[in-house]
Amino acid sequence: MEVIPSIDLRGGKCVRLYQGDYDKETVYSDDPLAVALRWQEMGAPRIHIVDLDGAASGVQANLEVLKRLGNAMDLPLQVGGGIRDMISAENVLGMGVQRIVLGTSAVEDSSLVEQVCRRFGTEAIVVGVDARDGMVAIRGWSKSSYIAVLDLIHRMTALGVGRFIYTDISRDGTLSEPNFQDLEDLIEGCGATLVASGGISSIKHLERLATLGVEGAIIGTALYTGDIDLREAIARV
């Protein structure tokens, strides 16, 4: 199982939000590249990057940071937040990024998902499934849709998507624990490749996720607080 550090960008800085609330922000660094290089040096297999400004507004606002990361990093990057048209998808994938993450677009513009799959291949796309009370949230988690998590996964699978990031918003940034039950139910119900995100705060959590069969686990707050040591986590799972 891949242990994947997360870098959330807001105003060019590396931050973390509590339960996706933009008013509950903690700034961990004003140099995201230094943070990314640190995770790379510690053995990260890839880095998950979210443009929080772009996720909320629909317009990518941290492109210069993304360019620096794409030029400097030797490991694969996956980037989400504000990618809602083909031009944005092309721009990001042209920055040395291996995968783009589509969330809002998967709900509001499924044709974009289909186009990206056809043009760049299914390995270049991940659909982010951000859940609040069983329903998918969009637009930087600020708005709830009327689509159930499993329904969205089935729709996207039919379009060719093979990989999904599942985040329980109520757990994100809380250092509580992942929603193991929902993850287990999804694995049994959809058969797709899942990456877990939200609430991971210990190596025991990672070990349990590995037994569930998820492909990867995205860690944010726990790395920045020191609750999880990245080298140890990678060695253990």
Catalytic residue among 8, 51, 53, 172: 8
CB contact at 8 A, 42 and 192: no
8 is catalytic: yes
Task: Identify which of 232, 207, 206 has the alpha carbon closest to the alpha carbon of residue 219.
Answer: 206
130 is catalytic: yes
- Rounded CA separation 110/23 (Å): 30
Helix (H) or strand (E) holding 9: strand 2-10
Tell me the residue type at 23.
D
- What is the Cα Rg of the chain in Å? 16
> Residue 50: beta bridge partners?
8, 80
Catalytic residue among 51, 53, 130, 168: 130
| Token pair for 171 | 């757990």
Task: Identify which of 164, 201, 202, 204 has the alpha carbon closest to the alpha carbon of residue 183.
Answer: 164
Please give the positions annotated as active site: 8, 130
